[in-house]
Structures are given as structure tokens and as C-alpha cells.
Amino acid sequence: MASSVSTAGGLVISTQVYPAGQAPVPSPGLQAQWLPAPTSLSQDSAELKKHLRGEPKALGTAQIMIGIFSVLLGIILSHNDPVLASETGIAYWGGLLYIISGALCVAGENTLRMSVIKAAVGMHVISLVIAIVATAIYSLSFKETEPCVQEEYHHYYYYPECYDHRWLLQNGTSGALIFFTVLEICIAASMLAFGLKDAC
């Protein structure tokens, strides 16, 4: 038996040739079926596979990790003196948005659905804006470190030690958050560029 498949005029034509004497008996309910050619499916598939060149799963995983670190560092920052970053809670809701954006990236690669990719592009825009705002807020937190209160019953060495520890804790945490938000800006911008090319 030899068979061939070809397309013509948006139709798929399947031909089967049997040697003489071996042809199957046709069933009475067997009819010709008109099936659309798979050209649109293969074009969509090619468009979606282009999306994979941007490594969305790896970058989405990085976004999820940045979101987790942001939330954890936000907990440390909120247990220190109140500063703009801890009062706004940007480490918490910013980190949550980074996690959602990263999860949509990973889901976009796993499912290869255009609707998921478009949702990921929308979240990348939001994450990019939030990361830029968060970087500015964390930068302002550097100037807000209040000195320790030196009282008479404490020894002299306590004041500089207290000030150094508070400064290191608050500014070190803010510095780490700035690093992670700048990294988030880079990832969100690159994923946005790849996503816009694929979605448009």
C-alpha cells in the first residue's frame, strides 16, 4: 500500500493506492471528508515557537525568584525603622506582581497559547513600571536612616554600634532591593520586547 498527502485550494487530499487484489472493501458509511489545510495552524505554531527564542521559562523563573527575594527583604525592611519603602509596602505587592509576571512567562512557554503570551506581555508592562517606581522609592530610603538615640544610662560605645547596625541593616536591605529591582527592570524590558514581537 502506498499513500500520499497533498494540499490544494485549502484542502488536504489523502490518496491511498493498494496493489491489485488487496484493496479493502469500502464500507457503506464511508464518505469523503473535507478538512481544512493545516496552514494556519502551522503559521500560528511558527509564531508561537518564535516566542521561545527569548527563553521565557528561564527569565520567568528569575522573575519568580526576584519576587520571592523582594518579599523576604521587605520583611526585614519593615522590622526596622519606618521608611518610605516599608510604609508603602512596595516590596510586598511589587514582589507579588513579579511572581505573577514570572508565572505567566513560564505558563506561556508551557502552553504556547497566544492569550497567555498576551497576558504575560501586559504583566511585563505593569512589572516594568512598578520596578522603576520601586527603584526610586528604595533609593529614597537611603536618606531616611534616623540616628540612634543616645541616652545617659547607656555606655558611650553603644551609640556608634547601634547606629552602624541600623545603618547597615536598613541601607544594606535597601541596596539589595535596588539590585533586584534593577534586575527585574532588565528582565521585564527584554521579555516585553520579545513578547511584543510575538503578540503583534
Q: Is the pLDDT of residue 77 over 50?
A: yes
Could you give the C-alpha distances from 103 to 46, 62, 168, 169, 182, in angstroms and in order? 23, 10, 33, 31, 19
Q: Which of 84, 107, 103 is nearest to 95 (CA)?
A: 103
pLDDT more than 90, % of the chain: 30
Query: What's the pTM?
Result: 0.67
- pLDDT surpasses 50 at 39: no
Decide which of 178 and 150 is more confident.
178
Which DSSP string corresponds to 13-72?
A: EEEEE--TT-PPPPPTT------B-THHHHHHHHHHHHHGGG-HHHHHHHHHHHHHHHHH
Residue 14 in this model has a pLDDT that exceeds 90: no
Lowest-confidence region among 36-50, 97-111, 174-188: 36-50
What pLDDT score was predicted for residue 168? 75
- Which of 5 and 62 is assigned the larger pLDDT? 62
